[in-house]
Structure 1
Amino acid sequence: MNDSEKKQSLALAEHYFRSNNYQFAEHILNTIIKIDPNNSKANELLAYIYGNKGDSNTSYQLLEKSCSKEDCSPEALYYLGSAQLKLNLYEKAVGSFKQSIEKAGVFFEALHDLATTYGHLGQTQEALSCYLDCLKLNQNSYELYFNIAKCLDDLKRHLEALNYYDRALQLQPTFTLAWYNKALTLYDLKRFEEALFHYDKAIQLQPTFAEAWSNKGEALKNLKRFDEALSHYDQAIQIKPDLFDSYWNKSLALLTIGNFRDGWDLYSYRWKRNNADKYHHNNIKELESLDNLTNKNILVWHEQGYGDTIQFSRYISKLIDLGANVTFEVQKSLQKLMQANLSCNVIHKTSEENIYDFQIPLLSLPKLFGTRLETIPAIKPVITVATEDIKKWIDKLNLSKSKVNIGLAISGNTNQQTNAERSIPLEKIQPLCKHGNIFLIQNYLLSDDQKYLEEHPEINYLGNYLSDFTDTAEIVGCMDIIISTCTSLVHLAGSMNKKTFLMSRWAPDWRWLLDRDDSPWYPSVKIFRQQSIGNWDSVINQIEVDFIKNQLQASEPKN
């Protein structure tokens, strides 16, 4: 078969292929490939035929063979990229889509799928750029507007995202995912009432949309409408029993309203929810009973944050009282402080799992001990530090004897998901400066707070002094009062029985319960709550009133 005959045969095979006469087309193409195994067009068409027959593996191999030739078509490169995208071969897919565009010029399908591939690679800005270029080619694709909005959400550009969700919904009012994702965006913007409306729209369109029911429950919880929230979690669970985030969210809602019995029962779903922390020490049997613990070797291991480790360390003494030999695995920066205050072995990491009879994650102990609101165990022991170490810091910080020394934390670890919700701009704390000397006791600072700190030397930053929690505890020990958002500093100060003011957001972390100014976990903690969502000014005003009241009481003559 000479080149002219080969060309005619290819044209005939393509004609049969376009006419859906795949059998005739395949016969001709196989004949060509016997003579010219690397013929790009023959391999391309044969790949499409095998794809239509459902043989995706052979189809992919033939596309790879076709695209290895310089004369391959842009269509072959596009379909190879599409196949690579389906196979999660994202880096290869990017290369194929780019080559297709280089050969054919920019066309919508390749550019759109290139954007999608960038999204899978976590290259959100690149994905957004491609989607926006797609918009120049097609302004009538509601899915394109939706994808742009999702990219903007991932880049935390939520207000811009709302506009693109709206455009998608204008083009397709019954686009359930657009209603749902817009609700998620409104939730992130703390516009919970608006989020409810959009969740309802998604649910009306798809009544079995379990995630919409569950996340509507979250919006209701943040509005402190807990009975409604719980019913929505239940509906989500009924629709989708393996939607473990609903169980987890329900457990936190129950704990917040003080229903510890049911809340602890569901708290174990923390290990099954999305992005769950890793469960450690699976090779050791989990402790499931408090019976017959005398001389049993038990490994208790930390989970979640520093504050959780401090708060629930009170259960270590309860295990010891039952005769157990406890080893407490904690974060490195807590090891020294915990070892000095607990009557057990405190380690950072264990390497000898075979020496333990049982293991248990720390926050499973409240359920094991049947903790109820009225039976929260006292802090035992109260965390202490040496008097001489406290005096060292009094001298080092040149603390005032005439003014109140206030230890402060306005934010926590910037990597923690909920840090934005609990963070207070440092400038809002300024009114407290007239009531005492402010010492900022935290490692992490947001950029705006760092700038404000540089402009206000009257606020003393102690982050550079904090090498571990022993340093922090010694500093807490020499303060007159601690004022903090929901950070580990509150738990440390509360565990030291130090007078502490907690600044709580509108919808509080579960452990601070609802509508009370005291904490059953920490007798020395007084809670000042936002009067509306995001309103930290109301919290500062309450604290100022408390300061003034105490100053007036202190100045009254004694009988």
Structure 2
Amino acid sequence: MTTAQPSPGAGLAAHQAGDLTTAANIYDACLRSTPDNPDLLHLRGLVYHQTGDQVAALRAIDRALAKAPGTPLFLGSRGVVLLASGDPAAACQALESARQGRPDDPKILTNLGLARGRMGDIDAARACHDQALTRDPNCVDALINRGNLRERLDDIDGAVEDLTAAHELAPDNADILNNLGFACLSGNRIGEARRALTSALTLSPAHVEAAVNLSHLDLLTGDFVRGWRGYEARRQRAGWHVASPACPEWQGEDISGRTVLVVCEQGYGDVIQFARHALDLLDRGASVDLYADACIADLLTTVPGVGKVVSDVSGEDWDYWVPAMSLPFRLGLDAPPGIAAAYLTAPRTVVTLTRGAGFCHRGNPRHRNDARRSLPADMAASFLKGRDEAFVSLNRDNAPDNSASPEGMKGRTDIEDFTDLARIIAGLDLVISVDTAVAHLAGALGRPCWLLLPFSPDWRWGLDGEVTSLYPEMRLFRQPLPGDWSSVLSRIAAELDKRS
């Protein structure tokens, strides 16, 4: 008895229903009999893309294009795959070629806008999204993409307008609700953010980004029990990975007399902030070691009571391990973690007594929120040039305009690791910094620090107030409106005048 050959239409139906496994199996069966069918190759490439295999996706779509050169649909899909592969320049080329064949296709236009945005050409990105919505005001993808772009540009009202319109057109799409919630959170529209994120999780209880964003909102507003519990969802993110030794993960059980490895994670500011919780484990009778990158390992050895800091977990033996940012949840903390004194120390033999104020105007440009948290270079330069004080740069030497920068902005070549940075900060009277690891280090060293915060701050700083329990010697200077660094710098200048 001959088994009936599945039809491409059945594969397409499964594909459209979201059954990617069935769709892939049917497409593969059809391709065995017609291996050069460009439409099937294209569809198979889309399934590869949707399941995360961008290399196979590009290979299949390129085979489709070899059989049907210049097909706008295939070129558009090639651009989408290249975007997902992290190659926006090549994506722009493919999407521009697709647009030549279909100049009015809103999906091609908005995907080109995404690629332009990833290339840093914000004006061109916005123009592409606008053109897409001129062609089709109900193009959900274009509304989402323009809304997300507006959020990045601090146009929160515009972002909410676009994403609300997208939600009305696709009410069962949890991704849209998550984006809407994130945009509201970026504008401190707390009630709206909570409603959108809660709705996203009602539609899709396993939606990782919505769960993480909701945990940020809870922490920001002081609901630490729910916030720390929800923040465990970060571990389900595709890119989350920490080094874990061959021992059980600590879940909160008795650890008196046991050895525990705390595995640091995420950015260096997080590493510095959460290193304090080693002291909580010591209070429970454990012996504590830390795992961290080599560039910060030496400095972390100064945390009181820590046994050793390792950068390799192989060949070692502990009773338990725990990710550093899971410690507040496992410890059952119901309030923001505070400290009474500094918990890091710069070795006295290397402290440079430079005095004066240190200045850091930028963070890691790869940080998702860096455009919002870092001070624009021209504003930083204008502020520094207008002051009589000599500012000490706390920026690393990674800026292309280094030679033309004012003294307090120049990147330094003598900061190789965090011990070097601690050596400089420990000798200063004051640190002025945006929200980056420099500020955390100053706080953990017990040095006075003035922290410049965007209107929508990171969850750890709360929504209001000039003080934080995280670091007793820190003052918070908040933007009164989105993007309003001028007011912040005016306040900083007035406070500096009082010190002189």
Q: Tell me the TM-score normalised to structure 2 length.
A: 0.86
2:413 maps to what in 1? 464
Cα offset, 1:512, TM superposition: 1.2
Question: Alignment partner of 2:432: what SS?
Answer: strand
Partners in 2 of 1:182 and 1:148 — Cα distance? 12
Partners in 2 of 1:236 and 1:549 — Cα distance? 49
Q: How has the CA–CA distance of structure 1 residues 385 and 256 changed in structure 2, closer, same or farther, with 3 Å as cutoff?
A: same
Partners in 2 of 1:272 and 1:333 — Cα distance? 27
Match of 1:229 among 180, 193, 201: 193
Match of 2:327 among 345, 365, 382: 365
Question: Residue 298 in 1 paired to residue 260 in 2?
Answer: yes
1:440 maps to what in 2? 393
Question: Residue 533 in 1 paired to residue 494 in 2?
Answer: no
Cα offset, 1:123, TM superposition: 4.1
Equivalenced residue count is 473
Cα RMSD, aligned residues only: 2.8
Code of the residue aligned with 1:527 in structure 2: it is: L
Question: Alignment partner of 1:408: what SS?
Answer: strand
Match of 2:42 among 44, 63, 82: 82
1:70 maps to what in 2? none
Question: Residue 422 in 1 paired to residue 350 in 2?
Answer: no
Question: Residue 160 in 1 paired to residue 160 in 2?
Answer: no
Q: How has the CA–CA distance of structure 1 residues 185 and 296 changed in structure 2, closer, same or farther, with 3 Å as cutoff?
A: same
Equivalent residues in 2 for 1:25-36 (5 A)?
none
Match of 1:484 among 415, 424, 433: 433
Equivalent residues in 2 for 1:60-75 (5 A)?
60-64=31-35
More helix by share: 1
Q: How has the CA–CA distance of structure 1 residues 412 and 56 changed in structure 2, closer, same or farther, with 3 Å as cutoff?
A: closer
- Residues 430-478 of structure 1: CA distance to partner in whole angstroms, max 9, x if unpaired? 4345242111112254434x2531xx4x447462111221221111111
Partners in 2 of 1:92 and 1:541 — Cα distance? 55
Q: How has the CA–CA distance of structure 1 residues 86 and 484 changed in structure 2, closer, same or farther, with 3 Å as cutoff?
A: closer
Code of the residue aligned with 1:425 in structure 2: it is: P
Partners in 1 of 2:76 and 2:343 — Cα distance? 60
Q: How has the CA–CA distance of structure 1 residues 537 and 83 changed in structure 2, closer, same or farther, with 3 Å as cutoff?
A: closer
Partners in 2 of 1:246 and 1:282 — Cα distance? 30
Code of the residue aligned with 1:281 in structure 2: it is: S
In terms of Rg, which structure is larger? 1
Partners in 2 of 1:296 and 1:166 — Cα distance? 60
Q: How has the CA–CA distance of structure 1 residues 59 and 207 changed in structure 2, closer, same or farther, with 3 Å as cutoff?
A: closer
- Residues 337-378 of structure 1: CA distance to partner in whole angstroms, max 9, x if unpaired? 2213432222233434772221111112222333333x6341
Q: Tell me the TM-score normalised to structure 1 length.
A: 0.77
Question: Residue 382 in 1 paired to residue 343 in 2?
Answer: yes
Equivalent residues in 2 for 1:72-221 (5 A)?
76=37, 78-79=38-39, 81-82=41-42, 85-86=45-46, 88=48, 89-93=56-60, 95-100=62-67, 106-109=70-73, 111-112=75-76, 114-115=78-79, 118-119=82-83, 122-221=86-185
Match of 1:508 among 440, 449, 457: 457
Q: How has the CA–CA distance of structure 1 residues 276 and 153 changed in structure 2, closer, same or farther, with 3 Å as cutoff?
A: same
- Residues 262-283 of structure 1: CA distance to partner in whole angstroms, max 9, x if unpaired? 211211111123x442144274
1:410 maps to what in 2? 361
Alpha-carbon contact 2:339-2:472 (below 8 Å) kept: no
Question: Alignment partner of 1:127: what SS?
Answer: helix
1:310 maps to what in 2? 272
Cα offset, 1:544, TM superposition: 0.8
Q: How has the CA–CA distance of structure 1 residues 179 and 550 changed in structure 2, closer, same or farther, with 3 Å as cutoff?
A: same
Code of the residue aligned with 2:360 in structure 1: it is: A
Q: List alignment gaps of at least 5 residues for structure 2.
A: 12-25, 49-55
2:383 maps to what in 1? 431
Cα offset, 1:227, TM superposition: 2.2
Cα offset, 1:543, TM superposition: 0.7
Partners in 2 of 1:111 and 1:544 — Cα distance? 54
- Residues 395-415 of structure 1: CA distance to partner in whole angstroms, max 9, x if unpaired? xxxx4xxxx611111112233
Percent sequence identity over matched residues?
A: 23
Partners in 1 of 2:466 and 2:436 — Cα distance? 17
Q: How has the CA–CA distance of structure 1 residues 276 and 226 changed in structure 2, closer, same or farther, with 3 Å as cutoff?
A: farther
Higher RCO, 1 vs 2 (CA within 8 Å, ≥6 residues apart): 2
